[in-house]
């Protein structure tokens, strides 16, 4: 264990739910507790000097080849690298919307370089553990968390409609097709007794009565609004293929934390954590199975309440933010304690190429923007701009918070202690 507070720099592609949940929140908590000196920046803003000042560099979902200098600087200087990955980009169809963003040949080659070079690769599923171990022997599977401090108590009224929710940040959503026939049948039968909500993707035209909620790009704000809405039943469909089996159980954590009785596809991601009939319902991916599960929870209020309570207890016991922070702290201390990086004061070139001025890099984004528009159209471009704008503003606030804490105006959370983890 290092005898000092290590300087940990997280260099992220953007502030999306994955980077926020798995990297930013635990790092900020450890920083405010005085256990690390954290700095978080976007890879579009980072330079090799950020790496030069670090005792550990953290990457998460980075795949852009034009940012390779950041990884290569860390390797050249002997700075340990932790790479966090919660999606199996190797199994993404390259012609899909996500595949164009993460699974082109040059991006997968860059991801392979990250995974091969990392001092530690952190994953969240067994399929991804198996894949990462083909490239690196230092791989650890961890359990993610949900911040219960962000969860609000909903004002539920007795006698109202049963509120169903389907939530995802994907614009191009195909998973909803798994339950749509069952939901349509239920709504035709029940009318106003059932109130369906879609959070993120717009509901299909054949379900005009469904209420729509737009994507909330700030994850903490999303969790506060989502929990306060008072939903009763949550839908979590998932395809049974390698890509989807490599995902994390985010919906189980969110639904359980918010007191929502979930219906989950009976695939490994959920069958590993959901106890059927106790903390949720596991169903096959066919319309009849989804209909029977929906009907059961709509009709049986006692079962619904039991699942809501037991799922919440499960989240409190196994998915606490504090436990996840303790695991992260243990990994940081092990990595920093194992390497003494060699420092240089100035970095003028990486791999023989001079560092480009920021204005040149910004101008270089123009052809990328044009290419993105041609490939994806205005709708996805506008959504990407919203994510970028949210990331930029959130990053400004986050960096201000880190500076304030570092300057000595730390909150009482500085007294927080963390349990030992194996």
Label each residue of 295-321 as H, E or C: HHHHHCHHHHHHHHHHHHHHHHHHCCH
Report the CATH architecture of 149-318.
Answer: 3-Layer(aba) Sandwich (3.40)
Supply 303's token pair: 């079962």
By three-state DSSP, how is residue 215 classified?
Answer: coil
Query: Are the folds of 7-145+321-415 and 149-318 the same?
Result: yes
pLDDT of residue 203: 83
By three-state DSSP, how is residue 266 classified?
Answer: coil
Can you give the pLDDT of all 422 residues of the chain as single tens digits? Answer: 555 789 999 999 988 889 999 999 999 999 989 999 999 999 988 999 999 999 999 999 999 999 999 999 999 999 999 999 999 999 998 888 788 889 999 999 999 999 999 999 999 999 999 999 999 999 999 999 999 999 999 876 677 899 999 998 776 688 999 999 999 999 999 988 999 999 987 888 777 789 999 888 888 999 999 999 999 999 999 999 999 999 999 999 999 999 999 999 999 999 999 999 999 999 999 999 999 999 999 999 999 999 999 999 999 999 999 999 999 999 999 999 875 544 443 444 444 444 455 555 445 545 554 554 454 455 444 444 454 455 556 666 777 777 777 665 344 444 566 677 76
Given a contact cutoff of 8 angstroms between Cβ atoms, the answer to whether 45 and 362 are in contact is no
User: Tokens 């949720």 map to which residue?
Assistant: 280
pLDDT of residue 163: 96
Rounded CA-CA distance 308/249 in Å is: 16
pLDDT of residue 405: 74
Rounded (10°) angle between helices 321-338 and 25-32: 80
Class of domain 7-145+321-415: alpha beta
Bridge partners for 235 per DSSP: 166, 263
Is 16 exposed, middle or buried, given 0-12, 13-18 or 19+ CB atoms closer than 10 A?
middle
Q: What is the dihedral of CA 54, 57, 58, 62, to 10 degrees?
A: 130
Prediction pTM value: 0.83
CA 287 to chain centre: 29
Given a contact cutoff of 8 angstroms between Cβ atoms, the answer to whether 224 and 70 are in contact is no
Cβ neighbors of 107 (< 8 A, separation 6 or more) are 63, 64, 65, 89
**261 DSSP assignment:** E
Bridge partners for 141 per DSSP: 123
pLDDT of residue 314: 97
pLDDT of residue 208: 72
pLDDT of residue 16: 87
pLDDT of residue 380: 46
Domain ranges of the chain: 7-145+321-415, 149-318
pLDDT of residue 27: 95
């Amino acid at each position: 264990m290092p005898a000092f507070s290590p300087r940990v720099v997280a260099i992220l592609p953007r502030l999306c739910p994955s980077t926020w949940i798995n990297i930013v929140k635990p790092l900020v908590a450890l920083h405010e507790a005085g256990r690390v000196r954290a700095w978080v920046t976007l890879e579009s803003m980072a330079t090799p000097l950020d790496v030069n000042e670090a005792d550990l560099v953290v990457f998460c979902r980075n795949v852009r080849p034009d940012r390779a200098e950041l990884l290569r600087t860390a390797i050249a200087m002997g700075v340990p690298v932790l790479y966090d990955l919660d999606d199996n980009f190797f199994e993404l169809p390259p012609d899909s919307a996500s595949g164009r963003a993460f699974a082109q040949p040059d991006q997968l080659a860059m991801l392979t370089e990250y995974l091969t070079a990392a001092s530690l690769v952190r994953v969240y599923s067994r399929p991804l553990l198996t894949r990462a171990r083909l490239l690196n022997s230092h791989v650890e599977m961890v359990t993610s968390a949900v911040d219960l401090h962000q969860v609000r108590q909903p004002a539920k009224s007795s006698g109202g409609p049963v509120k169903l929710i389907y939530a995802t940040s994907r614009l191009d959503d195909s998973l909803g097709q798994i339950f749509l026939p069952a939901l349509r049948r239920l709504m035709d039968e029940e009318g106003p007794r059932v109130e369906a909500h879609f959070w993120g993707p717009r509901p299909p035209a054949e379900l005009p009565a469904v209420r729509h909620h737009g994507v909330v790009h700030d994850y903490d704000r999303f969790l506060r609004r989502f929990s306060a809405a008072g939903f009763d039943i949550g839908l979590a469909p998932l395809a049974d293929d390698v890509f989807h089996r490599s995902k994390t159980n985010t919906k189980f954590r969110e639904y359980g934390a918010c007191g929502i009785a979930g219906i989950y596809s009976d695939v490994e991601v959920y069958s590993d954590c959901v106890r059927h009939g106790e903390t949720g319902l596991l169903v096959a991916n066919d319309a009849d199975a989804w209909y029977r599960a929906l009907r059961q929870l709509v009709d049986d209020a006692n079962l619904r309440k039991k699942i809501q309570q037991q799922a919440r207890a499960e989240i409190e016991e196994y998915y606490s933010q504090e436990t996840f922070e303790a695991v992260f702290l243990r990994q940081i201390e092990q990595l920093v304690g194992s390497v003494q990086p060699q420092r240089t004061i100035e970095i003028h070139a990486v791999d023989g190429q001079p560092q480009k001025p920021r204005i040149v890099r910004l101008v270089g984004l123009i052809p990328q923007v044009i290419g993105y528009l041609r490939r994806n159209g205005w709708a996805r471009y506008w959504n990407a701009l919203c994510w970028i704008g949210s990331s930029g503003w959130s990053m400004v606030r986050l960096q201000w918070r880190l500076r304030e804490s570092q300057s000595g105006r730390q909150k009482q959370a500085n007294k927080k202690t963390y349990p030992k983890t194996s």
